[in-house]
Amino acid sequence: MTRPIAPPSATPDDGLTGAFATPAAKRRYVGRLFATIAGRYDLITRLLSFGRDQRWKARLIEAARIGPGVQVLDLACGTGDLAFRAAAVGAHTVGLDLTPPMIHLARRKPGADRIGWLVGDMGALPVNAETVDVVTTGYGLRNVPDLPRALAEIHRVLRPGGRLGALDFDRPESPAFRAVYLAYLTLVGSALGWLLHREPDTYRYIPASIRRYPGARGVSALLEAAGFSDVTHIRLLGGLMAIHVARKSPRPPTRRAP
């Protein structure tokens, strides 16, 4: 059983408390934010990962054992990086995102016609129960308004034995290291916000969301509480990022009466 870490502070002084006050408030804020940055999303992802995000996404596809014929649902798909990677190895793939401009951009990419695209909420998936082999998400768990509810929805749509693969920022456990890391993200985000949008506060959400995120060990505990088994996480970039892999337990074999 994964031992949970201490929860993040409920009221950090970062000026964004209202955006996280309720799941509905966070949903509205995230929807507006990602609609604003959709055209720069790929660039920001590359910059904040030091150009390594494509290697991490390839590793997630491998860790989740995605291959030909597998039914994949990519949540918070953004402009489709993971969805395109899954389709490239022969998976039947659907990408879902809360933000219509993200789906619009994904549809314009070469090969998008091989993938199904949906606008939807991770907390209320428009997908039938036990119809998906693998759920993937890149930077989705941290951004979802109600993480336990989203994990319950992922568990619902997965077939017995199905797998979840998730890539996201981690939340450094050392208070000193965490403070330096979040200060760095705030500084870099302010600079990028000014250069790309003429608004330095645009990317303050990233460090603010990490402050409130339970981190890799905390997410592992939530996955187990949601009914997942074989829960593991792979530390990346010295623990600043993580890949989670978990499995929905298969049904026990049916015993026939003698």
Angle of helix 215-225 relative to helix 147-157, nearest 10 degrees, comes to: 50
Provide the strand spans (E) within 15-81: 71-75
10-residue mean pLDDT profile of the chain (258 residues): values are 46 72 92 92 89 95 97 97 98 97 97 97 97 97 96 98 96 88 89 86 89 94 97 93 96 61
Residues 242 and 230: their CA atoms lie apart, in Å, by 16
**The predicted structure's pLDDT at residue 137:** 98
Buried b (16+ CB within 10 A) or exposed e, 78-97: bbbbbbbbbbeeebbbbbbb
**The predicted structure's pLDDT at residue 10:** 45
**The predicted structure's pLDDT at residue 189:** 85
Provide the 8-state DSSP code for 43: H
Go through the domains of the chain in sequence order and give each one's CATH number. 18-248 (3.40.50.150)
Residues 6+ apart with CB under 8 A from 220: 2, 231, 232, 233, 244
**The predicted structure's pLDDT at residue 142:** 95
Residue tagged 């006050």 (tokens): 21
Considering Cα of 102, then 105, then 107, then 111, what sign does the dihedral take?
A: negative
**The pTM is what?**
0.90
Residues 38 and 177: their CA atoms lie apart, in Å, by 30
Provide the strand spans (E) within the chain: 71-75, 92-97, 116-119, 132-138, 158-169, 228-236, 241-248
14-53: pLDDT as tens digits: 668 888 989 999 999 999 999 999 999 999 888 888 889 9
**The predicted structure's pLDDT at residue 125:** 98
First-residue to last-residue Cα distance in the chain: 37
What is the C-alpha R_g of the chain? 18
100: its two tokens: 């219509």
